[in-house]
């Protein structure tokens, strides 16, 4: 379905192991440009590792990741940082760092010895803070923020990188419902209003189905199947991948499929 949309990122036969443990097994996956791709799967399926491999935090044993048809292994770190941003799973920073200092970190890939901090950097930071609604908290220490506010601050940092592709690794796991909504609505806005390509790892399958343009089921280090949520949310497929029997209904508000697991296996 999305083969008509150009692939921003192309994962080609990526294999990655930790020692003798195979985590990604010749995995291939296109990430369409300007869409939200959500990686879902059971614990230990390799979805987080895949996301990190896309951002080149791990070196694969074989295979490639292509960004706009370029092999990312050949790009230098800062250049890659200007094109793909990643919000890690449990990011941390000193508790007494201010929001502004945190967001400023996102400008690192744009700084060079001969190009110290300039107006462009200030503008990017301001836009990032405005876009996430943290501008009025800029001088507050991140240790004093609530979970939802903190997550927005981190997203602001990634935004300040001004990358076309943004990856987020389980960004809402520890947030309450209201903040989960906030965060994912924000991500959706970034996609719809600014055309950024988003790759998300989400634990909650229903949230995944609600927000994804392309939903990808990862199992045992391979892509089991990918497609639009309507096509992916099927009882038989969910039972195979997630090991639960689930009933599928259509969410009356978002008109997207949701699953109701009711039995193991």
Partner 1 sequence: MVESMSGGVRAASSRWPIYVALALGLGVAMLASLTLGYKLYGLDEVWMALFAHDGSETATVIAGLRLPRALIAPLAGAALGMAGVMVQTLSRNRIASPDTLGLNAGASMAVVLATVVFGVGSLAGLSLAAALGALLTSIIVFGVAAGAGGLSPLKIVLVGVTFAGLAHAVVEIVLTSNEAQLQQLLFWLSGAFVDRPISLFFNGLPVVLVGATLAFALTAALDALQADDATAASLGVPLLAVRGLTFVAVSLLTGAAVSMAGPVAFVGLVVPHAARGLVGLRHRHQLAAAALVGAIYTTLADVAARFVIYPVEAPVGAITAVVGAATLVLLLMRRLA
Residues near partner 1 (CB under 8 A) are: 52, 55, 57, 76-82, 84-94, 96-98, 100-102, 104-106, 108-109, 111, 113, 138-141, 143-144, 161
Between 80 and 209, CB nearer to partner 1: 80
Tokens of 141: 């220490």
Q: What is the closest distance, in whole angstroms, from the C-beta atom of residue 141 to partner 1 in the complex?
A: 4
Q: What is the closest distance, in whole angstroms, from the C-beta atom of residue 161 to partner 1 in the complex?
A: 7
Reported as type and span, the H/E element at residue 165 is strand 165-169
Q: How far apart are CA 172 and CA 154, in angstroms?
A: 12
Between 55 and 210, CB nearer to partner 1: 55
Between 53 and 241, CB nearer to partner 1: 53
CB 152 within 8 A of CB 183: yes
Between 18 and 262, CB nearer to partner 1: 18
Q: Write the DSSP symbol of residue 115.
A: B
Q: What is the closest distance, in whole angstroms, from the C-beta atom of residue 57 to partner 1 in the complex?
A: 5
Tokens of 10: 């192309």
Q: What is the closest distance, in whole angstroms, from the C-beta atom of residue 174 to partner 1 in the complex?
A: 15
Tokens of 30: 């296109």
Q: How far apart are CA 110 and CA 244, in angstroms?
A: 46
| Phi, psi for 96 (deg, rounded to 5) | -95, 10
Between 44 and 77, CB nearer to partner 1: 77
Between 88 and 246, CB nearer to partner 1: 88
Q: What is the closest distance, in whole angstroms, from the C-beta atom of residue 169 to partner 1 in the complex?
A: 8
In sequence order, which residues have a C-beta less than 8 Å from that of residue 24 and are 6 or more positions away?
Answer: 14, 15, 16, 17, 46, 49, 50, 53, 60, 63, 221, 222
What three-state secondary structure class fits 130? helix
What three-state secondary structure class fits 124? helix
Q: What is the closest distance, in whole angstroms, from the C-beta atom of residue 184 to partner 1 in the complex?
A: 20
Tokens of 128: 């990032």
């Amino acid at each position: 379905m999305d083969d008509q949309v150009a692939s921003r990122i192309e994962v080609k036969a990526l294999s990655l192991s930790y020692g003798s443990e195979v985590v990604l097994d010749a995995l291939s996956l296109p990430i369409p440009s300007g869409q939200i791709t959500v990686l879902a799967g059971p614990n230990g399926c390799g979805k987080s590792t895949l996301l990190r491999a896309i951002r080149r935090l791990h070196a694969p044993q074989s295979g490639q990741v292509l960004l706009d048809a370029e092999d990312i292994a050949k790009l230098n770190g800062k250049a890659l940082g200007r094109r793909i941003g990643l919000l890690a799973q449990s990011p941390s920073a000193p508790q007494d760092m201010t929001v502004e200092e945190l967001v400023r970190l996102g400008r690192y890939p744009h700084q060079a010895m001969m190009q110290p901090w300039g107006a462009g950097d200030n503008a990017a930071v301001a836009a990032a803070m405005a876009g996430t609604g943290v501008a009025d908290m800029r001088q507050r220490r991140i240790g004093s923020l609530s979970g939802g506010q903190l997550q927005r601050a981190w997203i602001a940092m990634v935004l300040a990188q001004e990358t076309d592709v943004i990856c987020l690794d389980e960004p809402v796991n520890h947030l309450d419902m209201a903040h989960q909504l906030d965060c994912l609505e924000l991500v959706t806005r970034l996609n719809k209003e600014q055309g950024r390509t988003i790759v998300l790892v989400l634990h909650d399958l229903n949230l995944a189905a609600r927000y994804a343009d392309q939903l990808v089921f990862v199992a045992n280090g391979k892509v089991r199947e990918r497609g639009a949520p309507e096509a992916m949310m099927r009882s038989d497929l969910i039972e195979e991948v997630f090991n639960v029997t689930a009933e599928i209904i259509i969410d009356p508000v978002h008109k997207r499929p949701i699953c109701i697991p009711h039995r193991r296996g």
